[in-house]
Structure 1
Amino acid sequence: MIERAQREIAETLVPAGVVSDSWAAFVGTVLTALDSANDPVVRRLVLIEGPAVLGWIDMWRAQEPLLHSIAAMREPFEFDRQGPSIHTSIRARLLVAAVEEAMLYLPHTDDLKRDHKIVQAEVRTLLESAGLPGP
């Protein structure tokens, strides 16, 4: 059940068709991942009960499809204008970790609707100030 929920999340993260603006696609994917925390099934199974019941190692394995989507999401930012960039790659990974943490926070809030808007605004601020290649 958890693996299926993870797979469904991962499928929503993959852009449909060719992406002409990798930064816009990255931001869109990040916000879509964050929106998945609004789904009661995702909240309950993936973000609350899954880690508690399975433990983090098994949960990590169940997240395999989601992790592949996240890796694909980061891929355009593994390079900067001069070529491969370890700094850009690390920055992109840290941004993804911040989004994952936000997703873990949302199921435990007493006002999901209010806090989702706040978290989404903060994630946008992080993305805009990250200095990753983009417009």
Structure 2
Amino acid sequence: MINVTCAIIYFGSKIIVTQRSKEMKLPLKWEFPGGKLEIGESEESCIKREIKEEINIKIEILSKLTNTIHDYGEFQVNLIPFIARHISGDIMLTEHHTYKLLDPAELLHLDWAEADLPIVEELLKIKL
């Protein structure tokens, strides 16, 4: 089981979503940005580090959503989602193909990585 953090990051009323590159597992699927939890690292430290490394911004964590466990066949993921807001930095992708800033209602129109779908659904049920 791979423990992975991800962040639903608000830029005002918009949310950033990232598209995986052609070289990554699950190529060209959409996801909330994040990455693998390292040994001895807290979930909160992990998501802040990963967001800085992957998209070059600093975030403030606002809350945590429900973890999602998904079996992709050759690997299992425990996806640990956080709601956050952008506090500084300009978006600069280091691993992903592209990104979009979307209204929450637009999220369901993307081809999501399967582990992210329950997070999208939970997000759309809550009011911030």
> Larger radius of gyration, structure 1 or 2?
1
TM-score interval, normalised by the smaller of the two chains? under 0.3
Higher helix share: 1
Higher strand fraction (1 or 2) = 2
